[in-house]
Amino acid sequence: MPIIVHKEYIKAPVEVCFDLARNVDVHIKTTANTQERAVDGVTRGLLEKGDTVTWEAIHFGIKQRLTAKVIQMEKPIQFVDIMVKGAFASFTHTHQFLKDRDGTVMNDIFEYKSPFGMIGLIADKLFLERYMKEFIALRARELKNLAEKNVGSTDEG
């Protein structure tokens, strides 16, 4: 089972980063490259423990749906979501936020199991794990840009 760990330093307070990361509207903005949108469950605003959201997006040229549920919430330090329905056999995505100097270290820990047994393992090695690393890193950079812009506009206003 692959485990992807991505760390992103963000020059913004932990609370700002935490709320941006669990905001459905922000998620849509930070995944524009896959045309992601929320189509069921919580479709706007902040996710809370127990909430579900169904995402529709285009991956590998195919429109897909995935339903995730927030199973843990420790504000503003960590939240965890799991897949309850979708293309993976399973996944757990832990979002951690640690105060560091004058900002936040955001850690994404994404553990997943591919479907289709041996074929899924081959897909992981050929392209899926690399694709997921890039997807998570891109979203983290977009979130960083929003957080730092948000803090900058607050400081100036």
Identity of residue 50? G
Mean per-residue pLDDT over the chain, rounded: 94
The whole-angstrom distance between residue 116's C-alpha and the CA centroid of its chain comes to 24
Cα distance between residue 64 and residue 59, in whole Å: 7
pLDDT-derived band of residue 103, with 50, 70 and 90 as boundaries?
very high
Q: Contact, 87 vs 115, CB < 8 A?
A: yes
Report the alpha-carbon angle 44-71-39, nearest 5.
Answer: 30
Domains plus CATH for the chain? 3-151 (3.30.530.20)
- HSE at residue 126, side-chain half, CA atoms within 13 A, is 7
How would DSSP label each residue in 24-42? Answer: HHHHHHHTGGGT-EEEEE-
| 21, two tokens | 């990361």
pLDDT of residue 156: 42
Beta-strand pair 3-10/37-41: unpaired
pLDDT in tens, 79-93: 999 999 999 999 999
Cα distance between residue 127 and residue 130, in whole Å: 6
pLDDT in tens, 23-65: 999 999 999 999 999 999 999 999 999 999 999 999 999 999 9
